[in-house]
Chains A and B, each alone.
Chain A
Amino acid sequence: MSWLKKIAVPLLILTALAALVACSSDEEPSPTSTSTPTSEAATGTAAATGTAGAAEATAAPVTGEKIELLNVSYDPTRELYAEYAELFKEHYLFQTGIEVTVSNSHGGSGSQARAIVDGLEADTATLALSGDTDRLVDAGLLDEGWQSEFPLNSSPYTSTIVLLVRAGNPKGIQDWADLSDEGVGVITPNPKTSGGARWNFLAAWASVTESGGSEDDAKDLLGRIFSNVLVLDSGARGSTQTFIDRGIGDVLIAWENEALLATRDSDDYEIVYPSISILAEPAVAVVDDTVDDRGTREAATEFLNYLYDPEVQELIARNFYRPSDPDVLAQFRDQYPELKLVDIGYFDGWTAVQEKFFADGAIFDEIYQP
């Protein structure tokens, strides 16, 4: 059996050495290691403990049952859903006695929809726009009419699109039209893969058509803006990173929440609110096919319903999304300046938008000629 040794020993050594690198993490499971080192997560845990403590008296008996949920979401919601997963775990345990562990997957909204269609077993799809969720309907994973299953068109939070510039606004950017000036480096994700980028595109489009311009004028402006684009990432987070970490570009067309997150941590950036923008309504849905298969409908539904709870709405506002609860919104009013917004109805809904703007050979392909 010496041959066995000859193969097995080196393999063992390899594995052992590899494990050595990790041993510092495996050997000392210190109590702090269960929470991520980021401050956001710490807040989440604190908030979660608070919930459980406050209403201890009526807690459901712990059943010992465990379920797992997979929430598939878009790019910038990483922090929000990491925190919410903790909060929801406490809530659901308290309410039903069942321990639920939520895993999250993030990426460009379009890419994530594609992954679900390809078989990523999402219990909930919390994508950037209803148009992407509609693709799950096309694939037979989701029943039509999903958008009426939760309040407010299944949008527990909204956001809008703003412009993020470098401190002091050296290029003097005030509005959409300024993005087309020569020498302005623009960063935006790719509308073909990113939900945020599609909102970006539509907001800029509306700035022309709402102020009396024709569609040709709008095409012209968008064409010039996109000729200024320096980097086209596949998701909103990638673009934010390009602008902030890599220092590329003069202006980032960004989700308001991404922009607020960036300015909270640093004085190197300023937010410019354009004269008009778009009401971005990310939509949430329970993926019927998966939850029926896995028997997780109840937990998944509660996962989305609880998003409308005032306490969670506060968490949402702390992560810079616009809460749908009017009281919570009032409380965070300073964070969200009044802004003229059009909504997706202005463009006759996502089906029409997809066909007119973003399908193969549609307007985006027409104007985008780098």
Chain B
Amino acid sequence: MSALLRPADARQRPALRQRVFGRRRVLPGSGLSLGFTLFYLSLVVLIPLGGLFWKSTELGWADFLRIAGSERARAAYALTFSASFAAALINGVFGLVLAWVLVRYRFPGRRLLDALVDFPLALPTAVAGLAYTALYVPQGWIGRYFDLLGIQVSYSRLGVVVVLTFISLPFMVRTVQPVLLALEREVEEAAASLGAGRWATVRRVILPALLPAWSTGLAMAFARAIGEYGSVIFIAGNLPRKTEIAPLLIVFQLEEFNYAGATAIAVVLLLASFFTVGVINLLSRRQQRYG
């Protein structure tokens, strides 16, 4: 962590400052803005998270592994990650279609629909959970049709996937959309004039060009989904080892007075979050370079 904080020290030590800021700077305010950024970041994010790690060290390695690696916890991670990935993939397919339709075609109500894509960002997740649960119970508007097929959605893993799809929808659509907009029309036209059929153009030209943005969108949708709590607890049924997501396990551990256990699982989730965000930034940097 000390490495991360180096720029803060730099404020007080001009020599170091020279080394840290390589380029000659014209604009003022580097110390102030960076200092404040780091101060606030530390206060709200780093110190509390550090406290979390510190707390988890109260457990020995053996205990940490026993709790964070227990069968129940592993099942919860598995559900959290697989459901999040499934939701991201669903958005990867349908969200892509939606983005394509919104960018390329013109039809009545397009603008309204485009605005609605952001609804999941604005709607409190508890409301989403409440509505989705009511929608997918066997008597619900949609649940009744699944019920005819003998499929249970609310209170099953499927329910978790469904609600996570809602939560992470904008992340996919909004990442792909600008790239679709910016795709050079000439390239497509060139492909077409060279005799490529429309499908071949889509497959050979458009989709490869979309791939970096698409994978970034996928990762962002995934990252958003693994953290989700409010909506999932309404719809999941919360059955240990079956429909219990990892964040809920933390709450249960907490309610069972098992603080160390709660932090152990939290640390695992946190590392996963950190990793995912790191991957996203890597992806988007590459996209920046080649996209």
Contact = CB atoms under 8 A, between A and B. Distances in A.
Complex: A in contact with B (CB within 8 Å):
yes
B145 interface: no
B238 A229 contact: no
Given A246-B133, A247-B138, A360-B258, A370 B239 contact: yes
B254 interface: yes
Nearest to A232: B239
Contacts of A117: 257
B197 to A, nearest CB: 49
Nearest to A117: B257
Q: How large is the interface on A (under 10, 10 to 19, 20 to 34, 35 or more residues)?
A: 20 to 34
A114 B255 contact: yes
Contacts of A192: 252, 255-256
A367 interface: no
A333 B255 CA distance: 37
Interface in B232-277: 237-242, 251-252, 254-258
Given A246-B133, A247-B139, A368-B240, A230 B155 contact: yes
B255 A231 contact: no
A231 B155 contact: yes
Contacts of B138: 247
Nearest to A249: B155
Interface string B191-230: 0000000000000000000000000000000000000000
B131 to A, nearest CB: 14
Contact of A246 (B137, B251, B252, B255): B137
Nearest to A113: B257
Interface string A349-370: 0000000000010000000101
Nearest to A233: B238
Given A230-B237, A246-B137, A246-B155, A370 B242 contact: yes
A231 B238 contact: yes
Q: How large is the interface on B (under 10, 10 to 19, 20 to 34, 35 or more residues)?
A: 10 to 19
Contact of B256 (A110, A230, A242, A248): A110
Contacts of A234: 238, 251-252, 255
A363 to B, nearest CB: 15
B110 to A, nearest CB: 26
Summarize A's interface: helix, strand, loop or mixed. loop
A347 B238 CA distance: 29
A185 to B, nearest CB: 11
B155 A242 contact: yes
B242 A248 contact: no
Contacts of A135: 257
Contacts of A108: 255
A111 B155 CA distance: 22
Interface centre among B133, B240, B256, by most chain A C-beta atoms within 10 angstroms, is B256
Given A246-B137, A246-B155, A248-B155, A193 B256 contact: yes
A290 interface: no
A232 B255 contact: no
A190 interface: yes
A270 B139 CA distance: 21
Contact of B239 (A110, A231, A247): A231
A205 to B, nearest CB: 20
A111 B256 CA distance: 7
A12 B182 CA distance: 36
List 8 tightest A-B contacts by C-beta distance, closest first. A111-B255, A231-B237, A193-B255, A192-B256, A370-B241, A246-B137, A232-B239, A114-B255
30 contacts: A108-B255, A110-B255, A110-B256, A111-B255, A113-B257, A114-B254, A117-B257, A135-B257, A192-B255, A192-B256, A230-B155, A231-B155, A231-B238, A231-B239, A232-B238, A232-B240, A233-B238, A234-B251, A234-B252, A242-B237, A246-B137, A246-B154, A246-B155, A247-B137, A247-B138, A247-B139, A248-B155, A248-B237, A370-B239, A370-B241
Interface of B: 133, 137-139, 154-155, 237-242, 251-252, 254-258
Given A108-B255, A117-B257, A193-B255, 6 more contacts: A135-B257, A190-B252, A230-B155, A232-B238, A247-B139, A368-B240
